[in-house]
Amino acid sequence: MLIFRFSDGLFPLPFLREPSEPPPIETWPSKLGNPPPTAWTIAGSDSGGGAGIQVDLKVMNAFGVHGCSVITSITAQNSLGVQSMEAVSASMVRAQLDALKEDLPPAAIKIGMLGSAATCRILAGFMESPLTSRAAIFICDPILKSTSGAELLDPKALDILTHEIFPHVGILTPNLPEVEKITGRALQTMEAAAESILEMGVSSVLIKGGHAEGAECHDFWTDGTQSLWLSSPRIETTATHGTGCILSSAITAALAHGQDIPEAITTAKTFMNQCLKAPSNLGKGRGPMLIEPFRNDPQDRPVGVGGVGDPAYRVVRPAMAAPTTGASST
């Protein structure tokens, strides 16, 4: 039985009994008078609603997590691409961080699109605060380009991101093009690339294989001591807008509930597969997915192989039970 820790006690969430059975019905902690876990997302706004702040909050809601937001940039975009973007002022970014820090402390913080060098500097300073660094784990989705190919990070900001922000990050979630941009060289193997990224100071890295070819999608996570491969059949769909945001937000939500990183990654991949199978059928381009409450369907679970202690415990163990209340498909 997995135990999630909350501020005023422990709340047990049993695993699936058998793969053929539906997830057990649970009463979400907020219904018992306990506050839900809180997580932040620091990212850009997507006017099309399929990525960025908008989808981050939907995902957190799907896991029964109270999501707070710090908006770094405003984008004008839809399923066809990004038409325009404008950075939020440095003073406003700082004000949002200060407001949340004063009243709504997070269990986990997701970092997405930062946009400008000024925002990166403010965030780096914020992450250096002893109170901040002790209070939450940072999950960074290093967004450099949109799904449609638009540049979303000022080139001057990349150095700040890698040298001042990465050392505070608990888990980095780059895709293959982002790996090559961050490391400055062509990808040879995921293991070698992960080793190079760990040398930049991040505590662990999940390299996503969605941009590779083949019938299977392979992702690789390591913290330098433990490692884990997750594989799932590739899902053919044009509804791929916001995939990186969805995955990193799901990891953030699972971590906010108390799962460790390998467990949270497995939970998030299960949720990602659930979303990829549920296109919204909106827009003329790469459209958004339906963000529905986490079902924890065994058919959506990835296959895991790796050296993370006891493989049977880390890999075969089911993800967290699905919430049945306190979440909606907004």
What positions carry a catalytic annotation? Answer: 208, 240, 242-245
Please provide the distance, in angstroms rounded to a whole number, between the alpha carbons at the two ends of the chain.
Answer: 30
Q: What is the DSSP letter of 246?
A: H
Q: What is the DSSP letter of 175?
A: B
Name every residue whose Cβ is closer than 8 Å to that of residue 155 and which is 6 or more positions away in sequence: none
| Residue 68: closest CA among 274, 242, 243, 249 | 249
Q: State how far the Cα of 47 lies from the Cα of 285, in Å rounded to an integer.
A: 15
Long-range contacts of 309-312 (CB under 8 A, 24+ apart): 309/226
Greatest Cα pair distance, the chain, in angstroms, is 53
| Residue 244: closest CA among 174, 177, 183, 155 | 174
In sequence order, what E strands does the chain have? 2-6, 9-13, 38-46, 66-78, 81-87, 108-111, 137-140, 171-172, 205-207, 216-222, 227-233, 303-305
3-state SS, residue 181: helix
Radius of gyration of the chain measured on its C-alpha atoms: 18
Q: State how far the Cα of 299 lies from the Cα of 77, in Å rounded to an integer.
A: 33
